[in-house]
A and B are shown apart, each in its own frame.
Chain A
Amino acid sequence: MRGLIWIGASILGVVMVLSMVTFTVDETNQAVVVRMGEPVRVVKEPGLHFKLPFPVETVHKFDRRLLEYDSAPAQIYTKDKKNLIVDNYARWRIVDPLAFLKTVRTEAGALSRLDDIVYAVLREELGRHTLSEVVAKNRELIMRTVTQKCDAATEKLGIEVVDVRIKRADLPKENERYVFDRMRAERHKMANQYRSEGEEMALKIRAQTDLEKRRILAEAYRKAEEIKGEGDAEASRIYAEAYRKDPEFYAFIRSLQAYDAVMDSSTVLVLPPEGPFFRYLRR
C-alpha cells in the first residue's frame, strides 16, 4: 500500500512541477513570457516550452492566425461628391506580440484601433477617386493602397494588416431610386431602338423583294419579246425565201386569198362587164 502511495504522490508531484515550469504553444498561438511584469521573451515556435514557475513568470498567449475584422457599413463621399455605403472587411494578424501586449493588450483593443484606422484611411482614399473608379476601374489598386496605409499605421501596434477589402459599395436608398429611373429610361430607349430596327429591316427586306420581283418580271418581258422577235424574224425569213422565188405569183395568190377574206355580205362590188370575169358573158 505504501508503494502505491509513493507512486501516486510522485506522479502527482512530477505533473505539478511540470505544469508549473512548462507551457505549450499551439500551432494557432504565440506567447509572450512576462517576468515580474516585464516582458522578457516571445515564443512563436509551437510545442512544449519551459519557464520559471508562477508567480515569477507568466505567459500571455495570442492568436497567431489570420483574424477577422468586419466594420459596420459607413457612408463615404467619393471625389465626384457621390454618396456610397461602404461595407468593408479586413484580415489581420498579430506579428509582434510584444508590441501588441504593450499597446493594445487584447484583440478587442486592437479591433477598436483598427476600426478608427481603417475607416479614416478608407474615407481619405475613396475621397480621392470618382465613383466609377471605385466601383469599376481602380478597385484593386485602391484596395492595395488602403491595405498598405493601414498596415503602415498599425505597425507599432504589432499588427500586420494583410488585406482590406470592400465587401459592398452600394448607393444609398434615395440614390438607388434615381439609378432605377435612369435604368428604366435606358431600357425604354433600347426597346424603341429594337422595334425601329425591326421595322427598318422589315422594310428593307420588303423593298428588296419588290425590286427583285419587278426585275424578274422585266427581264422575263425582255426575254419573251426577244423570243417573239426571233419567231417573227424566222417566220419572215422563211416567207421571204419562199416568196422570192416568184413574187408575181405570190402577189396574185395572196391577193386572191385577201379578197376571199375581206369580202363579206356588206361588200358592194360594182363590176364593169368588160372585166375578165365577164369576158365570156359578153360574147
Chain B
Amino acid sequence: MNSGSDEGVDYAGLPFGREISEIIKRTEIPQEGPIKNIAVISEPYAGDYLIINGLKDILKEKVCQQNFGAVQHKTPVLAEICPGREIVIIEGCHYLFSRRIGGYDILTGFLKDISSDSKIYITFWNYFAWNYISAATGADSYFQKPLHIKPAEPDMLMDIIRRESESKTEYVDDRPKSDRKRIYLDWHDKKLPGSEKTITFPVPVYESNVGEILTGGDAEKYAFDRIAAISGGNLGVAKKLWRKSVHDNLFRLSGISSRDSEINLGYNESYILLLIITWGALSAKEITDMTGSEEETVAKLSELSLHGIIFSEGGRYSIDPLRFVQARDYLRKIRLVW
C-alpha cells in the first residue's frame, strides 16, 4: 500500500511506504556531498503523522521528535533537542519564520546550525510555506532534494480510514440517476522514453452505470474513488468527507459531494487565508504580527469564520478541511500561492 508509486517496497505495508523508504534510504546514504538534512514537504492535513510514526517505529532509539506548533521567537538550541540521538525529526519547521520584517532571522540561524551539526535532521514543512520560503530566502539550498508527499491513492485512504474507524461501516448505493453518469479525468503517470522523468497526464473517462446498484466492496471502492478525487488525495480532507457521509455506521454514496459555495474573497481576507493555509494553524496575535493591524486581522478572521472557511480551536485558526481544496485552488487562481 503506497501513495503515488510502487517504489519503496521495503515498507510497502505501511501507509506512505514509498516516502518512509525514501527517507530512510537518504539517512543511510547522505546525498549531494555535505548536505545531509532532509526536507519533507506536504500540504496541510496530508498525513505527516503517519510518516513520522512509521519512521519512529523503524528507526526506534536512533530517532526522536521535536514539534513546533506555534511561531517561534527565539532560535532553538540544538543541544537541547534530542541529545544523544543520531536522527532528529522536526515537525512544523515553517513555524521558525514569520512573514514580516525581521521574521526570517530565526529560520536562517536554525538552518545554519543544523547544517553544521553532526545529527541528521528530518524536517517537515508545509508545502505552501516551503515554496514561499525557498523562493524568498533560498532555504532549499540547506537540504537534499526535497521529498514531496504524493497524494494518497484511494486504496490507501480506504485502508487508513478502515483501520481508524471504530466499527464496521456498510456502504449503500442510493445515488440518484443523474449521479450514475459522469465524465472525469483520470490521471496517469508515464515514464518518458530514454529519460528518468515521469509525466502525469489526464485521460478523460466516461462512466455510466444507470441500471447498476453497487454493493459491498464495489460500493466501498466507488466511495473511496470519489473521496480521493474530491480530496485530491489529501488524507485529512478525505477523512472529513468520509465522516460527513457516515450516519449510524451507514455510508450513503449519495452523501459524497464536492458542491460547496464558491470562494470569492477580498484581497486582504485572501491574504489572511493564505497565512492560515501556509502555517496550518495560527493565533490572532501571530496573524496580527504579520499583517501589522489587529483591527484588520480580527475583522477578516471573523468574516472567514462566518463564510465557514476557517475555524478556531483553542484560540488557533485553521482551515476547515472540507474547504481546503477549494481554498487552495482559489488562492492559486489569484496567485497568492504558487
Partners in one complex: no
Residues of B within 8 A of A (CB): none
A interface residues with partner B (beta carbon < 8 Å): none
